[in-house]
Amino acid sequence: MEAIHRAKGFEKIVEPIRLTPESKFVFQCYPGVPCFKLCCSELHLPLTPYDIIRIRDYLKLGTEEFLILYTEPFILPKSSLPIVRLKMRDDKDKTCPFLGDGGCNIYEVRPLACRYYPLGFGLFRNRDEKRNEEFYYLVKEGFCQGLDSGEEMTVEKYRYSQGIPPLEEPIFEWAEIIMKKESLGPVEVPEKSLELFFMVSSNPERFRTFVFESKFLDIFEVPQDTLEKIKTDDLSLLQFGFRWLKTILFGEDLVKKRKEVPSIRKAKPF
């Protein structure tokens, strides 16, 4: 497989064309295709916070256990924000840890990036319309024989066929944080803020402990119904975490600070 990757003409080409949901491309992939599984090795495969929850639950692992066994820290190139990516096996081809003889062993819960392939995706700020918009692009790798054969379809149809929209919706605010940091350029972010971003992005159990067992609730005012939800529901916890990150990283005031924090709180009369 290594030789195939290195062979002339098999390099990765990102087509510099911005695609919209209505753009069309031609692609098909199926288990009998001659290049089957070639795209599942030597990857920098970032995991979204929702990927982590879904794969962890599918494997019936605790978060720490999943992170230690299958991931490694990764710094996103443009934003310099720390997240985790899948740790490739230490074999000659650097294969994905979930690649089995019959294909992907976690196909039902495969990561967002795997679902998108051969498309890539990103977000940009439409300043005229004052909103964030998604964009897509085609990644052409020489070994992939599924490109330019099979059915012509729109990007949107492909996204739905891969079950992408319901997996993206819960992490939209997370993507916005990354995009905003990218747009700020090389600004220095305090080490502590990067650690907090990493915690929310990779480890919901640790973030929950942080909320309920540190001075967090002395400092931030969290409505009771939100507290009830985030105690047990990981997706609600993520949503809350993203709003909190926007508050501490960009001052967006989405999670209110208490008027009096412990250090300045008056002693209670007794």
Applying CB under 6 A, the residues found at the interface with ligand SF4 are: 29, 33, 35-36, 38-40, 43, 45, 96, 98-99, 104, 106, 110-111, 114, 117, 143-146
CB of 187 to ligand SF4, least distance (A): 33
CB of 133 to ligand SF4, least distance (A): 26
Give the whole-angstrom CA distance, residue 23 versus residue 13: 18
Give the whole-angstrom CA distance, residue 191 versus residue 210: 17
**Per-state percent for the chain, helix, strand, coil, to nearest 5:** 40, 20, 40
Helix axes 49-58, 191-202, angle to 10 degrees: 40
Residue with Cβ nearer ligand SF4 (45 or 171)? 45
Residue with Cβ nearer ligand SF4 (51 or 182)? 51
Residue with Cβ nearer ligand SF4 (69 or 217)? 69
What is the sign of the dihedral through the CA atoms of 211, 213, 215 and 221?
Answer: positive
User: Under a CB-based contact definition with an 8 Å cutoff, are residues 208 and 237 in contact?
Assistant: yes
Nearest residue to ligand SF4 by CB is 146
Residue with Cβ nearer ligand SF4 (117 or 240)? 117
CB of 149 to ligand SF4, least distance (A): 9
Q: What DSSP state is assigned to residue 220?
A: B
Task: Please give the backbone phi and psi of residue 58, each rounded to the nearest 5 degrees, phi first.
Answer: -60, -35
Q: Which residue is listed with tokens 């294969």?
A: 95
Residue with Cβ nearer ligand SF4 (97 or 176)? 97
Give the whole-angstrom CA distance, residue 81 versus residue 90: 25
Residue with Cβ nearer ligand SF4 (96 or 199)? 96
Task: Please give the backbone phi and psi of residue 196, each rounded to the nearest 5 degrees, phi first.
Answer: -65, -40
CB of 158 to ligand SF4, least distance (A): 12
Find, among 242, 66, 79, 76, the residue nearest to 169 by Cα.
242
CB of 261 to ligand SF4, least distance (A): 43
CB of 269 to ligand SF4, least distance (A): 59
